[in-house]
Amino acid sequence: MTDATPDSAPMSGPMPTAFDPQALPPLREVIARFGLDARKALGQNFLLDLNLTGRIARSAGDMTGVTVVEIGPGPGGLTRALLATKAKQVIAIERDHRFIEALQDVIQAADGRLSIVEGDALEVDPIAIAPAPRAIVANLPYNVATPLLIGWLGRIEEFVSLTLMFQKEVADRLVAKPGSKAYGRLSVITQWRSDARVLFNLPAKAFTPPPKVESTIVHLTPRANPEPAEWKALEQVTAAAFGQRRKMLRQSLKSLGNAEALLAAAGIEPTARAEEVDVSGFAALARAYRGR
């Protein structure tokens, strides 16, 4: 484990780390020097306020000894903040080649604790590149945020936690409860595998350039005892149920076969609608579907 605390450090209070995010050139200067205009197609909305990136990094919890994977470091505002935590190392995956050169100063200053993987996060397995204990902390590119999350949820037990920035509307869906408008497939799959909670919102003006929407940081930890269910079966039953969310399940689940028998096996009223069924109900339905 890397302990960057100097011998002369005081024995009480927050432990200082050797990495000082403010000691590097300001992010606006880095952006100007390397001509890093934001590209919409890559979901580039940067956080240039180091107080804010520090807040996000700290909100991930105690990262002592943890390898943190960051998706999309961009000009490196959050990367710097992550290096200022007690994380053992930071591995950042970036698709846009322009940032690799711009991040060289941070790599130098990080003294072996930062490595960059150039590639598409949809194709890089964080479990393969980062040793345990590992966590993900990222201001996600919104165009691929949901598929990335779904990929990680499938093996969330391999992570200490995921601390992720989403557009608020997606964050609302992740934590939505039955009976609410935002409750849907993403809520069920997320809450089946994880304990997900909203940490805080950020206004659009916190970003450069500002996106059209508000953003939200969500913290996800693996659920200790997820209800037994098969991933594919749960996807199939939630797709059928929420595909026609206004209809009664005895109708919307017809595409799966004998809907009434499935619902009876799962102990769900045939007249219930998808948005009334909780995660346990959907897990029971997935088991009934799998065992049919």
Q: Which residues of 143-170 are buried (b: 16+ CB within 10 A; e: fewer)?
A: ebbbebbbebbeebeebbbbbbbbbbeb
Q: How many residues bind ligand SAM (CB under 6 A)?
A: 23
179 is in an annotated binding site: no
Residues 6+ apart with CB under 8 A from 203: 214, 215
Residues 118 and 94: their CA atoms lie apart, in Å, by 5
For ligand SAM, the closer of residues 44 and 85 by Cβ is: 44
Q: Which stretch binds ligand SAM (CB under 6 A): 3-11, 90-98, 177-185, 272-280?
A: 90-98
Binder among 71, 110, 188, 241 for ligand SAM (CB under 6 A): 71
For ligand SAM, the closer of residues 87 and 93 by Cβ is: 93
Q: State which residue has the least CB distance to ligand SAM.
A: 72
- Helix or strand or coil: residue 22? helix
Please provide residue 88's backbone torsions phi and psi, each rounded to the nearest 5 degrees.
Answer: -65, -45
Least distance between ligand SAM and beta carbon 176 (Å):
23
Least distance between ligand SAM and beta carbon 108 (Å):
19
For ligand SAM, the closer of residues 126 and 281 by Cβ is: 126
Q: Does 54 bind ligand SAM (CB under 6 A)?
A: no
Task: Give the total residue count for the chain.
Answer: 292
Which among 127, 207, 196, 116 is positioned nearest to 164, based on CA atoms?
A: 196
235 is in an annotated binding site: no
Least distance between ligand SAM and beta carbon 177 (Å):
28
Residue 220: strand pairing partners: 162, 196
Residues 70 and 136: their CA atoms lie apart, in Å, by 6
Amino acid at site 200: F
Binding-site string for ligand SAM from residue 139 to residue 178, where x marks contact by CB under 6 A and - marks none: x-x--x----------------------------------
258 is in an annotated binding site: no
72 is in an annotated binding site: yes
For ligand SAM, the closer of residues 91 and 263 by Cβ is: 91
Q: Which stretch binds ligand SAM (CB under 6 A): 69-77, 167-175, 238-246, 251-259?
A: 69-77
Least distance between ligand SAM and beta carbon 34 (Å):
13
Interface with ligand SAM in residues 93-112 (CB under 6 A): 93-96, 99
Would you call the peptide bond into 228 cis, given omega within 30 degrees of 0 as the criterion? no
**H or E stretch including 199?**
strand 194-202
DSSP annotation of 154 reads: T
Residues 40 and 142: their CA atoms lie apart, in Å, by 10
78 is in an annotated binding site: no
51 is in an annotated binding site: no
Which among 73, 193, 221, 41 is positioned nearest to 140, based on CA atoms?
A: 73
Residues of the binding site for S-adenosyl-L-methionine: 45, 47, 72, 94, 120, 139
- Contact residues toward ligand SAM (CB under 6 A) are 42-47, 71-74, 77-78, 93-96, 99, 120-122, 139, 141, 144
Residues of the binding site: 45, 47, 72, 94, 120, 139
